[in-house]
Amino acid sequence: MTAFTTGDVAHLLGLAPAQIRTFARSGVLSPDRGVRNVYLFSFRDLVLLRTASGLLAARVPPSRIVRALLRLRTQLPEGRALTEVHIRADGDDVVVHDGGAQWDPITGQFVLDFAVAELAHQVASLAARRAADAGTADRDASVWVQRGIELESESPPEAERAYVRALELQPDHADAHVNLGRLLHEGGRAEEAALHYRRALAARSDHATAWFNLGVALDDLRRPAEALAAYDAAIHANPGLADAHYNLASLYERQGDRRAALRHLRMYRELAERDSGERR
């Protein structure tokens, strides 16, 4: 993920460095430490600090701000774009809207919403400036792929453009095709996603993730025979890919082949248990 220095945050949000460091020490944020022990903030930290900025402007007492941010931190969604969340600082209230649900992080009451997407746009602009300053992004496809990875949770459209740029520079960059395909698929464009997965496989025929994602896309496109073949290829490329066995079990079950479904479900459970044991 992109890391933002105290100076970056001050520039983006208009907060004083001293205020940023105070919030960092309060336990509300989860910054890393960089060279010379400087704070390195994540995009989630920026969302919280953006909310703090609004509360400070409304002259909310610091103790209430910290309490609101601590509650808000537990409410932010995991595993998907934070740009789907809207936050409003109105007086001494902090209001959050996540999809169809709305709540007040302090009282738990369901109330109104406000947009955070503007922050993602500011961050994307900062990432672009950083890449330009580095002087390598315009020539190196891998730099654009890395930028896309960093932008995915902050601004999926900007991430998509980064992957497109990587492919303009290197049309056979397998990971760029896979990542772009996943974003397209998540946006409901399964046919386009499948095309990119196939292009990734043309460059790297043993790319297990490309085979697996292709299987998911083909299943969504209601092409079960092709999906089965893709999942089989994913397992051939990576025998430990438990999710491929799970999806195969589901496909076979739908086709009425209970024996094959049970065989793959058993393999899924064995691999999942083995993975769980290794993490202990």
* Lowest-pLDDT choice from 95-99, 128-132, 224-228, 238-242: 95-99
Q: Domain span at residue 84?
A: 6-115
Quick check: is 226 in a domain?
no
Class of residue 253 by CB neighbours under 10 A (exposed 0-12, middle 13-18, buried 19+): middle
Quick check: is 139 in a domain?
no
Which has the closest alpha carbon to 44: 16, 8, 83, 90? 83
- pLDDT of amino acid 258: 93
Quick check: is 30 in a domain?
yes
Quick check: is 22 in a domain?
yes
Is a pLDDT exceeding 70 seen at residue 195?
A: yes
Work out how many domains the chain is built from and give that number.
1
Quick check: is 109 in a domain?
yes
* Lowest-pLDDT choice from 14-28, 49-63, 72-86, 242-256: 72-86
Quick check: is 62 in a domain?
yes
The CATH number covering residue 64 comes to: 1.10.1660.10
Quick check: is 99 in a domain?
yes
Say whether pTM exceeds 0.85.
no
Is a pLDDT exceeding 60 seen at residue 112?
A: no
Rounded to whole angstroms, the Cα distance separating 49 from 89 reads 11
Quick check: is 87 in a domain?
yes
Pairing of strands 32-33, 39-40: antiparallel
Taking residues 194-217, what's their average pLDDT? 95
